[in-house]
Amino acid sequence: MTKHEPVIKEDDVVIRPTQAEAEDAVRTLLRWAGDDPNREGLLDTPRRVTKAYGEWFQGYGQDPEEMLQRTFSEVEGYQDMVLLKDIRFESYCEHHLAPIIGRAHVAYIPTDRVVGISKLARVVDAFAKRMQVQEKMTAQIANTINDTLKPRGVAVVLEGEHHCMSTRGVHKHGVNMVTSAMRGAFDSDRDMRREFMSLIGNPTNKL
């Protein structure tokens, strides 16, 4: 993005700071933490941090709906579940900016067209690479696939370890949060939902 390019939000427009302003903010945090941003080991840290932020939060510059626009109709009438499981994702808690590391399982039941499987993984990443809460991210992925592809059903399950819980606060390691979103046939058909849960390797009584 260019300098001061508007970042569109739901309710308003926020003017993006310049690179220099962002680096100054990092120096402020370094001083607040009790260190000297002018010492040799930290001199280039502001530039490195802003570069890392550009990678971690690149989802703000991506359009998940656009990723699903190209579809394929030569599927010989295939109308059963399409499942992509164990999609590793890296996100960041919007409350503490601590990492959320986990796996996504995404399925849909096509009508007459399918989408390239890599696009499903890209949709997961587009939402993961933003400041997030897992519940919201789960719904965003499901709603985007449902609204764009118009399938007969969509199922999304996310499993994530939240470092805001494992590295601070209660310091509970190895705890995974599981969230799910079911749309269409996966919501109305218990057998379809059970099949999905069986395929991703989770007991059906979790949902």
pLDDT tens-digit map of 88-105: 999 999 999 999 999 999
Q: Where are the strands (E) in the chain, listed by range?
A: 6-8, 13-15, 71-72, 82-93, 99-109, 114-115, 131-132, 153-162, 176-184
pLDDT at 178 over 70: yes
96 is catalytic: yes
Express as a percent the part of the chain with pLDDT over 90: 78
pTM: 0.87
Residue type at position 42? L
The residue from 95, 105, 161, 163 that is catalytic is 95
134 is catalytic: yes
Lowest mean pLDDT segment, chosen from 70-79, 131-140, 153-162, 192-201: 70-79
Mean pLDDT of the chain: 90
The residue from 105, 140, 159, 162 that is catalytic is 162
Beta-carbon contacts of 146 under 8 Å, excluding residues fewer than 6 positions away, are 108, 154, 183, 184
pLDDT at 205 over 70: no
pLDDT tens-digit map of 23-80: 999 999 999 999 999 999 999 999 999 999 999 999 999 999 999 999 998 888 888 9
- Buried (b) or exposed (e) across 167-189, using 16+ Cβ within 10 A? eeeeeeeeeeeebbbbbbbbeeb
pLDDT at 8 over 60: no
Confidence of residue 167 (pLDDT cuts 50, 70, 90): confident
- Residue 202: per-residue pLDDT: 58
Confidence of residue 172 (pLDDT cuts 50, 70, 90): confident
Binding residues for Zn(2+): 93, 96, 164
- Residue 9: per-residue pLDDT: 53
The residue among 160, 157, 162 whose CA lies nearest residue 200 is 157
Q: Which residue has the tokens 């599927």?
A: 75
Cα(174)–Cα(176) distance, rounded to whole angstroms? 6
pLDDT at 204 over 60: no
93 is catalytic: yes
CA 68 to mean position of chain CA atoms: 16
Cα(8)–Cα(104) distance, rounded to whole angstroms? 27
Confidence of residue 173 (pLDDT cuts 50, 70, 90): confident
- Residue 76: per-residue pLDDT: 84
The residue from 62, 161, 163, 164 that is catalytic is 164
User: What is the DSSP secondary structure assignment for residue 110, as one 8-state letter?
Assistant: -
DSSP state letters, 152-190: SEEEEEEEEEEHHHHSSTT--TT-EEEEEEEEEHHHH-H
The residue from 19, 94, 161, 163 that is catalytic is 94
- Residue 16: per-residue pLDDT: 86
Binding residues: 93, 96, 164
The residue from 134, 140, 159, 195 that is catalytic is 134
- Buried (b) or exposed (e) across 89-105, using 16+ Cβ within 10 A? bebbbeeeebbbbbbbb
Residue type at position 160? G
What would the mean pLDDT of 6-10 be, rounded to a whole number? 52
